[in-house]
A and B are shown apart, each in its own frame.
Chain A
Amino acid sequence: MNKYIPHTPDDIRQMLDKIGVSSIDDLFADIPASVRLQKEYDLPEAMSEEEIRAYFKALGDKNRQQVIFAGGGAYDHYTPSVIDALLSRSEFLTAYTPYQPEISQGTLQYIFEYQSHICELTGMDCTNASMYDGATAAVEALFMAVAQAKKKNRVLVSATLNPTLITIIGTYAKYKGIEVDLIPETDGYTDRTAMQAMLAEGDVAGVLVGSPNHYGIIEDYTGFADDIHAAKALMIMHCDPSALAVLKTPAEWGADIACGDGQPLGIPLSFGGPYVGFLACRKELVRKLPGRIVGATKDVDGKRAFVLTLQAREQHIRREKANSNICSNQSLMALHITIYLALMGKQGLREVNEQSYGAAHYLHDELVKTGLFVPAFPNAPFLKEFALRTTLPVKALQAQLAEQGYMAGIALGDYREGMDDCILFCATEKRTKGQIDELVKLVKEAKL
């Protein structure tokens, strides 16, 4: 019939005979005539592989590849060649969720390894098999806090978090009936005094902060955990897992839940997806953790094996009262970062951060030297992302550099009031000195 449907006319005849009907149409006789499809689909004729390739090549030619000097939640880190080769193995790629553990040890084992990596990076005791992305992981972390607090229904989120993330939290909270309040910022930092006052108002179940924050600033959260715990709320940190090779971990800050997007761990930018979210917590909260969790056990012969465990949590037994509905997650992307972390290892992930730090600080210093930029938050420590104010028209500058093949940061004015003259730049270990020098030269020569 076609390459995806193997039936010959003779096959169909024999099968209909077995069923005892005379045509395939008879199998659809129960569909009321008024809703039975009567027309041909308005679709093109089937395309051959060569036609498909040509079609997508033509579309691809309409994109312009750029040298990326922007982050904003998606970071251009190096992807080792090995990863795609292994992810393409059909045993991983085409498997379903590991519901039959005897023939799914491959998936179950890599999820166990993934969980081990996420716990190492965050310092947390427990994690699940993955979430959709960093934003939905943060939403689920806040839902966990509300569920744990039982009667409290209010959460606080720092204004220094990515505004897109805050918008997503606002969306979910609106329908779930949770109150969200913004902790104001002062000079790019979460205002601790304001947070203390908001905690004192009561009813707070959880507090979400970011590290690094939306401006790339590595905030000092000293004392936050004490403030939050004194109000009997949970502290939640949204973090860049790549940066956790060098930055203080959520556990070391005293947080109860860690969440974020795994994309910086070598997942290609891919126009925004697929990426993978992670969600990790202290062991006291494991029964509130949504999604699937893999545990080690033994089979009847005593062999070590892995299995989905702790299934008797809220969403499974009382689904009409469920706190989460996550089912399919981003398993193959969890394998992606599992292999990435195995390859990069202890030394490699540190080196990624050191080289990103070097590139970003060189870019920062060279841009400031032009006299056209000043730091938006002077002396604030950063790793690979930073905000500058400029005397140049932001949009015109970005448009011109885009023509020249550079994605020159993110216009913060698109996200925040009073920041129309700000650009959020980023540089990773993939950026060379040559690329940075060229960008700075083009900025200096820009005719705007």
Chain B
Amino acid sequence: MKYYDKLIFEISREGRVGYSLPKSEWEGLTSSLSEEASGIAKNLLRETPAELPEVSELDVVRHYTNVSNKNFGVETGFYPLGSCTMKYNPKINEEIAHHPAFCGLHPLQSEESVQGALAIYYHTARVLSELTGLADFTLTPFAGAHGELTGLMVMRQYHLLRGDTKRTRVIVPDSAHGTNPASAAVCGLEIVEVKSTANGTVDTNDLKGLLDDTVAGIMMTNPNTLGIYETQVVEIAHLVHEAGGLLYYDGANLNPMLGASRPGDMGFDIMHINLHKTFSTPHGGGGPGSGPVGVAAHLVDCLPNPRVVFVDGKYKVKSGKMKVESNHSGGICQFGNSCGRVAAFMGNFGVVMKAYTYILSLGKDIKHVGPIATLNANYVKESLRDAYYLPVDTVCKHEFVFDGLADKSTGVTTLDIAKRLLDYGYHAPTIYFPLLFHQSIMIEPTETESKETLDDFIDIMHRVAEEALADPDMVKTAPHTTPVRRLDETTAAKNPLIKYRDLC
């Protein structure tokens, strides 16, 4: 197909329209928002019109269809992106989330008129509790990082309610996801890094030295970002709790734990889940995701408002105190025990519906997800370790990390390998993360991929390793067959062109 290179603004022609509205019934009242007709002072009206495109409906449909053809999704091909859990996104989830009985609901409708929607919210929280071993969940956070921040607010509120104001430090492993320290900083916490041992797990000796009465808690992901289960987790939980801190579980790596081990049982007090990873909702090119936060029983009152509860056979929304008083200086809101409020309504409800559909589709069989995801990852690891360097040689869970090629003599880097994979119709793995190694290649196959798909990927990875020795220049200039090739990122950053007007 011919490469399509137009922006919507470039196909605009004055006078074309792509919409239909009913004939206005308000001609007698006003048909124009001029000062004369509406009584809205000219001073309040826009001076120059917004230059929006003028295109027909077919123009729009063809344009975005052509634009979509320059993208790669899970349905295009294998997406072995580490820590991202790019599993198949079932179609029934989409059908249910688009059900007209839910799409038209206003978020502030009366409780009586939204009992079905509230039931979904309530029961999704219940099944997440069962799967994680935590007492209750809020489904409000919009994404994983938003969940982290919300969870840390819960952690801080817990300490503040006890009058323990000096706990302002949070411990984060050096292998943590990048959002962990960022979330802690936004929550007003100071970050203390705990070292990893040679096998990639938290160094408990280093941890012991960091624990004192200024520690609010620790953030961990288990399995960690090397895909390795933190075997000392029970001892770590004991140490942190003994020092008065709480344990936060970063749920980005929850997938392999389905059917294997629950964060609540491991000793974690707070966690978030990425519904767009473990529970099959689509990533949408960068959202909408959903990041529910679960807590142990002693923290339930610290969850943010609003909360959905089931009382006397009815689902109810507990909003907490919401009055804002005029002309009041200082602390403007009262939240009671709750950590506060983190979103205008109840989060990405449509995404929650998709995840709940997925959980009901699998039911008890969801216990196979973790084991098969783990089988797939170990199979790929063992099949490729001859050609790629495996820095930590142990059984992994859902993902594992290579440190570049086994033979780096021709100077072919992880970036080059990633780009060459694109030529073969594969998405690249996660690269240069975790930061523990210089040439990290992080591979997560997920349980929805068949042995045939993995075998084909393994063949291609071997072929790329051979090409790196036989024809390194070709690999270093890859990709060669994609819609565009390597980009000039330096000029883009030096002279930012970030809207159509910048190009005119």
Docked CA distance A410–B319 (Å)? 15
Beyond the given A2-B362, A102-B482, please list 20 additional residue pairs across the A-B interface where CB-CB is below 8 A. Answer: A5-B448, A6-B449, A18-B383, A24-B375, A43-B363, A49-B361, A86-B61, A91-B71, A91-B75, A113-B9, A170-B340, A171-B339, A181-B330, A248-B46, A274-B287, A296-B498, A330-B142, A402-B112, A407-B106, A407-B108
Docked CA distance A327–B276 (Å)? 13
Docked CA distance A405–B421 (Å)? 56
Say whether B60 contacts A342, CB under 8 Å. yes
The smallest beta-carbon distance between B177 and chain A, in angstroms, is 9
Tell me which of A7-15, A226-234, A440-448 binds B.
Answer: A7-15
- Per-position 1/0 for A151-174, Cβ under 8 A of B: 000000001001111111011101
Q: A100 — which chain B residues lie within 8 A by C-beta?
A: 72, 418-419, 422, 427-428
Q: Is B198 an interface residue (CB 8 A)?
A: no
Q: A52 — which chain B residues lie within 8 A by C-beta?
A: 92, 96, 357, 360-361
Assuming A97-B286, A101-B484, A358-B26, is B47 touching A120 (CB within 8 A)? no
Q: A358 — which chain B residues lie within 8 A by C-beta?
A: 24-26, 29-31
Q: Is B329 an interface residue (CB 8 A)?
A: yes
Q: B329 — which chain A residues lie within 8 A by C-beta?
A: 181-182
The smallest beta-carbon distance between A375 and chain B, in angstroms, is 13
Q: Is B36 an interface residue (CB 8 A)?
A: no
Give the contacting residue for A348; candidates B19, B45, B49, B96; CB below 8 A: B19
Q: Is the interface of B mostly helix, strand, loop or mixed?
A: loop
Say whether B73 contacts A91, CB under 8 Å. yes
Q: Is B459 an interface residue (CB 8 A)?
A: no
Docked CA distance A142–B103 (Å)? 32
Docked CA distance A44–B357 (Å)? 12
Say whether A134 contacts B498, CB under 8 Å. no
Say whether A80 contacts B19, CB under 8 Å. yes
Q: B348 — which chain A residues lie within 8 A by C-beta?
A: 273-274, 330
Say whether B322 contacts A167, CB under 8 Å. yes
Q: Name the residue of chain A whose CB is nearest to the CB of B153.
A: A175
Tell me which of B243-251, B460-468, B486-494 binds A.
Answer: B486-494
A-B CB contact pairs (8 Å), 13 listed: A27-B395, A35-B266, A63-B113, A82-B57, A89-B65, A92-B73, A95-B283, A177-B188, A245-B52, A261-B344, A271-B105, A297-B492, A417-B323
Within 8 A of A (CB), among B95-111: 95-96, 98-110
Docked CA distance A274–B74 (Å)? 21
Say whether B109 contacts A346, CB under 8 Å. no
Q: B9 — which chain A residues lie within 8 A by C-beta?
A: 113, 116
Give the contacting residue for A327; candidates B21, B144, B359, B379; CB below 8 A: B144
Q: A7 — which chain B residues lie within 8 A by C-beta?
A: 372, 375, 450-451
Assuming A106-B69, A307-B492, is B116 touching A59 (CB within 8 A)? yes
The smallest beta-carbon distance between A109 and chain B, in angstroms, is 5
Say whether B261 contacts A65, CB under 8 Å. no
Q: Is A205 an interface residue (CB 8 A)?
A: no
Docked CA distance A132–B344 (Å)? 10
Q: B409 — which chain A residues lie within 8 A by C-beta?
A: none
Chain A contact residue count (CB 8 A cutoff): 217
- Per-position 1/0 for B6-32, Cβ under 8 A of A: 011100100011110110111001111
Q: B387 — which chain A residues lie within 8 A by C-beta?
A: none
Say whether B145 contacts A126, CB under 8 Å. no
Say whether A273 contacts B346, CB under 8 Å. yes
Q: Is A20 an interface residue (CB 8 A)?
A: yes
Say whether A319 contacts B188, CB under 8 Å. no
- Per-position 1/0 for A23-34, Cβ under 8 A of B: 011111111101
Q: A109 — which chain B residues lie within 8 A by C-beta?
A: 7, 67, 70
The smallest beta-carbon distance between B120 and chain A, in angstroms, is 6
Q: B90 — which chain A residues lie within 8 A by C-beta?
A: 4
Q: A88 — which chain B residues lie within 8 A by C-beta?
A: 94
Say whether A246 contacts B45, CB under 8 Å. yes
The smallest beta-carbon distance between A420 and chain B, in angstroms, is 12
Q: Is A387 an interface residue (CB 8 A)?
A: no
Say whether B46 contacts A247, CB under 8 Å. yes
Say whether B500 contacts A47, CB under 8 Å. no
Q: Is B349 an interface residue (CB 8 A)?
A: yes
Q: A36 — which chain B residues lie within 8 A by C-beta?
A: 260-261
